[in-house]
Amino acid sequence: MKSGNSVIRMVAISAIAVFLYGCAATGGPLGLSPAQEQALGEQQHPQILAAFGGEVDDPQLNAYVKRIFDRLMATDPTLPEMEVYVLDSPVINAMAAPGHVYVTRGLLALGNSEAEIAGVIGHEIGHNEKRHIAKRVSRSNIAQIGTVFGAILTGDADTAQLLGQGAQLYLLRFSREQEYESDLVGTRLLAAAGYEPLGAAQFLNTLGNWTNLEAQIAGVQQPPEYLKTHPNSANRVARAAQEANAIRQDGASETRRGAFLNAIDGMFYGDDPVKQGFIRGRDFIHPQLQFAFTVPNDFELRNSSQAVLARSSSGAQMQFTGASSEQGPAALINAASQSLKVNLGTPQRINVNGKNAAAGRGRANTQSGAVDVTAYAIQWQDASHWVFLWVTPANQTLRLERAINQSVQSLREVAPGSVSVPPATRVDVITAQRGDSASALSRYMAFPAYRQERFLIINGLGAGAGINAGERYKLVR
């Protein structure tokens, strides 16, 4: 969970399968002039930064990605003006907004060459060149953009993301034709810039392998954020490769793997424990925001870029996030009722560890049966609040009620320097020695399981691939 919540942001846990609210594309007629399109991008830029952790605080990494971007842009003087940003998020994602292109450090960590990252950036440039976003926005929904309360319902609570209604505009799934069109633009830019034009196809292949492994581990079919908006398929990989071979130009085609590995060596992988908090047993601790809380027994915690999530084997789920309200906790409970489409009743004034708070409860019927929804809003400091949202199967609510109340009451202040912060996990680029193997090197990977499988995928290697002495490989540790 990142620092800095400046607008109200809440998300419905997947058990409340009762609504989907957001700034959805209507497919209506194009209602934006180029100037309006650019103004929209400027308006939504701060929300996208806020939703994905802001820009990475690494001038060298930012400058490196900008050089890739500038190299692509220099190949075509007719491209519209835009800038590139590296987002401080472990989520694997890339986005385009009018005048803006974004890649996350999570996406960079999965890449294996500069040509691959250039392929992703070129694809996003293609969305802007072809004005795909403007074509998906009609006059009827322009008025909705920028509202401060958005709720997003996802298919899996572990990957729920609070993106804000404005940021969600740029996470819409593009049509197949638009994706192929952007693939072609990206491949053309790669070739014109002297990169290996297969870069985009190679990254899509790695991403597909990573997605399949994550689904296998989780036992779900839930793609990462990038694949929700940029659908991956064997056909698309094959088509990107076919386009690359057809457009390949005479002369050198660079991958610049060495330069890429130099740029990401030492980059944060996953959460920054100081800026985004960390999990220790049943405790979630955020040193920078100076708070901590404890979840009940049988709840497994997970930190995301916008919220802290937890769920139990009984099907109960929890989300903890920040909100801002000048009107106090009760107003947030009322706002949650409207957004969730669940009547949480008249907010009840309560006290949480000496803090002014409010609570509300309601029941919703879902495809899985009745669930009880309980929301707690705690005024932390002035307009800054913390919000717990609990969803429990109706037949489990009474049993869990006491434990949930204790968890809410466990929200507490943490003094700076009072907790031992675990070391951050980073990308570590190493040079293989004689006798090294994938099995041996993967033991250094900072994952509880599937270490060798992850090592092979993040290095673009197939199953059973050998390790060559003197070559460089990525570890996460």
Count of domains forming the chain? 3
Answer yes or no: do 288 and 325 share one domain: yes
Answer yes or no: do 45 and 132 share one domain: yes
Answer yes or no: do 406 and 431 share one domain: no
CA distance 274 to 288: 6
DSSP readout, 194-245? TB-TTHHHHHHHHHHHHHHHHHHHHTS----HHHHHS---HHHHHHHHHHHH
54 within domain boundaries: yes
Burial (CB count <10 Å: 0-12, 13-18, 19+), residue 43:
middle
Q: Which stretches of the chain score pLDDT less than 50?
A: 4-30, 138-172, 224-229
CB 191 within 8 A of CB 247: yes
Q: What share of the chain is helix, strand, coil (3-state, %, to 5)?
A: 35, 20, 40
299 within domain boundaries: yes
Provide the pairing of β-strand 83-87 with 100-104. Answer: parallel
Answer yes or no: do 369 and 439 share one domain: no
25 within domain boundaries: no
**For residue 252, what pLDDT is reported?**
63
Answer yes or no: do 124 and 236 share one domain: yes
**For residue 19, what pLDDT is reported?**
19
CA distance 78 to 129: 9
Residue 242 belongs to what domain range? Answer: 34-136+172-264
305 within domain boundaries: yes
CA distance 414 to 187: 50
Residue-wise pLDDT tens digits, 372-396: 999 999 999 999 999 999 999 999 9
20 within domain boundaries: no
Domain end among 233, 264, 295: 264
**For residue 249, what pLDDT is reported?**
62
Q: What is the pTM of this model?
A: 0.75
Answer yes or no: do 257 and 109 share one domain: yes
Answer yes or no: do 319 and 209 share one domain: no
Comparing CA positions, the residue from 190, 210, 189 lying closest to residue 198 is 190
Answer yes or no: do 296 and 354 share one domain: yes
448 within domain boundaries: yes
271 within domain boundaries: no
Answer yes or no: do 390 and 260 share one domain: no
Answer yes or no: do 339 and 287 share one domain: yes
Q: Note the maximum CA span of the chain.
A: 72
Token readout for 475 is 């570890």
Residue-wise pLDDT tens digits, 27-47: 334 457 888 888 888 988 988
Domain end among 264, 286, 321: 264
Answer yes or no: do 76 and 179 share one domain: yes
CB 11 within 8 A of CB 329: no
Domain end among 208, 233, 264: 264
> Which residues lie across from 146 on neighbouring strands?
none
Answer yes or no: do 255 and 187 share one domain: yes
28 within domain boundaries: no
Domain of residue 396, CATH code: 3.40.1000.10
